[in-house]
């Protein structure tokens, strides 16, 4: 597919890839490479100029928007929390399934800090959740996504700002919320997508490399360069 926001410079240039059902695809690349644009097109926030996106062989334009967006849930880096209870921030006005809510809390580990709150799950979240750490807010966003049980889960830089205290909990929560569903992960931190079934590398709006973590390292290309830079900075 090809795409331009203003009809001039192409943001995506002949991008074509597939994801097997219930597998995880990771998209990596420098800022401006077109990663988030792909997600915007998947959710039909913009029309594609050339090409199409298929889900189970059906063009996404054939799905009602409400159905499409109900089945594609995105978890972003910046988590917005409402001045409502913790529980209300998870279920977001949908019918409450108490048993499923408890399961979601356990799988995403928010039960660990909920039990420390004076009001528990009925504690009112302060404006934008400023009393929670970045990791706790991220775990809440994972719980929100899992509660809605989407067919396709998108993690858009969802681990970029987590604190070290909750990093392991976040990684474990990701394992639970991606299990058994088709997932797309956009990440600058390559350590978070090493176990993806497929990784595509974008550069200048084109797919320049494709494979799993080990295959891409062996190619000694852009992915290898990004990986080497990141891990040399950690040493």
Q: How far apart are CA 201 and CA 190, in angstroms?
A: 11
Query: How many domains does the chain fold into?
Result: 1
Q: Which has the closest alpha carbon to 195: 165, 171, 168?
A: 171
Beta bridge pairs of residue 207: 202
- Does some domain include residue 33? yes
Residue whose pair of structure tokens reads 């392991």 in the numeric block: 168
Q: How far is it, in rounded angstroms, from Cα 71 to Cα 152?
A: 6
Predicted TM-score (pTM) above 0.75? yes
Mean pLDDT of 121-140: 84
Q: Give the N- to C-terminal CA distance of the chain in Å, as an integer.
A: 39
Cα separations in angstroms, 215 against 24, 175, 202: 16, 22, 16
Question: Which H/E stretch holds residue 211?
Answer: strand 206-211
pLDDT in the model for residue 157: 78
Domain range for 133 is 24-234
Instruction: Determine, yes or no, domain membership for 98.
Output: yes
> Is residue 7 assigned to a domain?
no
CATH of residue 137: 3.40.50.300
pLDDT of 226 > 70? The answer is: yes
- Decide if 101 is inside a domain: yes
What's the pLDDT tens digit per position in 42-78?
999 998 889 999 999 999 999 999 999 999 998 887 8
The first and second tokens of residue 128, run together, are: 């934008």
pLDDT score, position 68: 93
Within-domain flag for 6: no
Contact 40, 46 (CB under 8 A): yes
- What is the pLDDT averaged over residues 129-135? 80
Question: Where would I find the H helices in the chain?
Answer: 35-42, 65-70, 86-91, 98-107, 111-114, 134-147, 167-178, 213-219, 222-234
Region of residue 129 (phi > 0: left; psi between -120 and 50: alpha; otherwise: beta)? left
Residue 109 domain flag: yes
10 located within any domain: no
11 in any annotated domain: no
Task: Enumerate helices (H) and strands (E) in the chain, giving the number of each.
Answer: 9, 8
């Amino acid at each position: 597919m090809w795409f331009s926001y203003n009809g001039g410079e192409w943001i995506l240039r002949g991008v074509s890839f597939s994801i097997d059902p219930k597998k995880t695809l990771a998209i990596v690349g420098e800022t401006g490479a077109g990663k988030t644009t792909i997600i915007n097109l998947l959710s039909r926030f913009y029309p594609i100029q050339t090409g199409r996106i298929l889900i189970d062989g059906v063009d996404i334009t054939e799905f009602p928007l409400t159905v499409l967006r109900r089945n594609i849930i995105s978890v972003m880096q910046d988590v917005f929390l409402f001045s409502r209870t913790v529980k209300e921030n998870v279920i977001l006005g949908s019918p409450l399934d108490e048993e499923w809510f408890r399961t979601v809390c356990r799988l995403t580990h928010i039960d660990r800090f909920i039990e420390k709150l004076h009001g528990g799950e009925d504690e009112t979240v302060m404006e934008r959740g400023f009393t929670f750490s970045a990791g706790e807010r991220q775990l809440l966003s994972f719980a929100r996504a899992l509660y809605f049980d989407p067919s396709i889960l998108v993690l858009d830089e969802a681990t970029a700002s987590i604190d070290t205290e909750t990093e392991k909990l976040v990684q474990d929560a990701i394992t639970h919320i991606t299990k058994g569903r088709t997932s797309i992960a956009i990440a600058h931190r390559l350590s978070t997508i090493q176990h993806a079934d497929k990784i595509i590398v974008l550069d200048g709006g084109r797919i320049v490399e494709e494979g799993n973590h080990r295959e891409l390292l062996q190619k000694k290309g852009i992915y290898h360069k990004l990986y080497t830079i990141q891990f040399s900075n950690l040493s």
